[in-house]
Structure 1
Amino acid sequence: MKDEGIKNVKVSYDIACRWSIKLFQRIQSYSDELQIPEDKFSLEYFIPKFHLPVHRPSCHTRYSFNYRPGVGRTHGENIESGWAHTNPAAISTREMGAGAQHSALDGHWGGWNWRKIVGFGKCLHVT
């Protein structure tokens, strides 16, 4: 991100209200290549819509996608929609060594992402 000129990053996370506290202090303990210059861009934190109701009322407006510009009608849950198909992959890779497991799961997720990208045409096709 730091070399791409990105000015604003929007982060959707189930516990963004807690995770974002002192984030940049934690980042300072990371290796140099993972350091993020806090003054180069801004981070905005959101809690996905499905998870938001179980949070405190103070989180509802502060971290809601509904009240923030630049996110459209995002619900923030897409990252979790793919986990169900991972269960069979977990079963078949659990006894593999680390390298083989990484390669197999990378192939699995690559295939999943490819199917999503190819499917965009069905969603975005204008007649």
Structure 2
Amino acid sequence: MTVIDEWTGRHANALRAALRLTNEAFAEYLGISPRTVTKWRERPNMVPSPPLQEALDTSLRNAAPDARLRFTANLGLDQQPVPLDQAALTQLNTAIGDLTRVLARLQPGDPQQSPTL
């Protein structure tokens, strides 16, 4: 299960969406005003008070498994890093080199010039 060390407006809004609740329904569920939920949406870096942090922890813990999966996906936490082997790194380095050479050939201020590889 995903654990949030410090909830922010972004996390709270992701939970609201995962539970498929409106601002009003989520506010009622948490026992707070709808304006607070709206502020979380408008200010994603806002950190809720400690009592609200606990309420959000409890809400996530009590959420159905599919809602917890949606919450994780809403935050982009479900994406596993792609392992890079030596062949992939070589391919990436070659592509970066190619792009660097193309960019070096571009003339500043000449929007008509189109680079070729």
On whether the aligned pair clears a TM of 0.5, the verdict is no
In our comparison, the structure showing a higher alpha carbon Rg is 2
Higher strand share: 1
Higher helix share: 2
* TM-score of the superposed pair, with normalisation by structure 2: 0.24
Structure number with greater CO (CA < 8 Å, separation at least 6) is 2
* TM-score of the superposed pair, with normalisation by structure 1: 0.23
